[in-house]
Amino acid sequence: MRATVYHGSRDMRIDQVPDPRISAPTDVIARITHAGICGSDLWSYRGIYQRKQGERMGHEWMGIVEEVGAEVRTIKKGDRVISPFLISDGTCEFCREGLPSSCIHGERWGGSNNGGQAEAIRVPYADGTLVVIPKSVEDDEQLLKAIFPLTDVMATGHHAAVTAKVRAGSTVAVIGDGAVGLCGVLAAKRLRAERIFLIGHQEARLNLGRAFGATDIITARDERAVQEVREQTHGGAEAVLECVGILEAMNMAIHMTRPGRSVSCVGFAHMNQAPDLTRRLFQNITITGGVAPARAYLPELLQDVIAGTLDPSPVLDMTVDLAGVPAGYAAMDKRTTIKVLVHP
C-alpha cells in the first residue's frame, strides 16, 4: 500500500510500504477513508522535532474495518470507525479513570508504528482505541467531515475548555487562531460561555472564529493583548485557553487570567523553560490542561456532531488525495491553509 513517509526536513514522500497485518489478537486492520495533517506534524516537517528517516506520519484518521483479530469484541468487519490521536487499551487504571492519554499500554500513531496518512492501518487495542460511527451516518460526506476533527483538534479544544472550567456565563479568552484555538472557541460556546475573546492575527481565521462564537477579536500582540483583555474584562478572563504552545503565549495566558481562575495549556509545547510562576503564585492562578484524553470525549462529542449541534468542519479548508499530502504539508507550513483533510 501507499503511505506518507518522513525522509527529512520538508521532505515527506508517498512511498510503497508493506500492507498492515494483524499481529496481536486485539488488533484490527482498517482501510483509511479520511486522514488529517496536524499542526503538530509541522514540528517534524520543519525539522524541529527530529524523526528518523522512514518513519510514518499521521495520527488523525477514520476508516472502515476490513479485518478483525480473534479477541476483538466490539468492532466488526465493515464498521466505520473513528480513532483518537492516541492508542489506548480501554481497561487499565488510567483508562478507567477517564485519562486514556496516560494508558499504560498507550502508543502513538506514526513513527515506527502505523501512520494515518496512508491507505490502511493496523490498530492495536482496537476495542479500547476505536469508536464505531453509527450506521445512520452512512456515507454522508458532510457529516463525516464534521466528525473528523474529533480525532484531535476538536477534542483538544474541548479539553482546554473543560479543564479551564468554562461554564455557562463564563468570560473566556482563547489564544491562537489555528485549528485548536478555533475549536476552543466552538467548545467554549458549546459550554455556554457568554463572552469569548479570540486572540490571533489572521483575518480569515478570525472571521471563522467569529462564526464559531467569538464575541471579541483581539489582534494586538503580547503585552497589549493582555492589557486589552484585562481592561475589557475588568481584571482578566475567567478561563483562558492557551492553544499555541510557546512560552510567550503561555505567559500572555497567565497574565490575562483573572485572579483565582484557570488557564489551560493545550498547545503542543516543546520547551524546557517554565512560564511565569510568580503571577501564578500571587494571583492563585491554576495552570491546567495537557494532552487531551480524546478517546474519553469522543462518544459525547460524536453525539453532538450527529445531532447537528456541533460542526467543526470549516477548519478543514483544504482537501487532498494521498499524492497531494506533501503539497498539503507545504500549504500548512506557509499558513495558506488552516488544516488539510486527506482522502487516501
Q: How far is the CB of 115 from Zn ion (least distance, A)?
A: 22
Q: How far is the CB of 166 from Zn ion (least distance, A)?
A: 27
Nearer to Zn ion, 235 or 290 (CB): 290
Chain centre to alpha carbon of residue 231? 31
Is 198 strand, coil or helix? strand
CA dihedral 103, 188, 320, 131 (to 10 degrees): 40
Per CB under 5 A, which region of 60-68, 82-90, 205-213, 270-278 contacts Zn ion? 82-90
With contacts defined by CB under 5 A, how many residues of the chain interact with Zn ion? 5
Per CB under 5 A, which region of 18-26, 100-108, 166-174, 259-267 contacts Zn ion? 100-108
Amino acid identity at 172: V
Q: How far is the CB of 26 from Zn ion (least distance, A)?
A: 12
The 10 Å Cβ neighbour count of residue 314 is: 16
Nearer to Zn ion, 103 or 296 (CB): 103
Closest to 126 in 3D by CA, of 88, 86, 152, 92: 88
Q: Residue 95 interacts with Zn ion (CB under 5 A)?
A: yes
Q: Are 186 and 310 in contact (CB under 8 A)?
A: yes
What's the 3-state SS for 229-279?
A: HHHHHCCCEEEEEECCCCHHHHHHHHHCEEEEEEEEECCCCCCCCCCCHHH
Q: Residue 226 interacts with Zn ion (CB under 5 A)?
A: no
Per CB under 5 A, which region of 99-107, 131-139, 159-167, 237-245 contacts Zn ion? 99-107
Q: Residue 130 interacts with Zn ion (CB under 5 A)?
A: no
Q: Residue 60 interacts with Zn ion (CB under 5 A)?
A: no
Q: Residue 206 interacts with Zn ion (CB under 5 A)?
A: no
Q: Residue 92 interacts with Zn ion (CB under 5 A)?
A: yes
> What is the contact surface with Zn ion in residues (CB under 5 A)?
88-89, 92, 95, 103
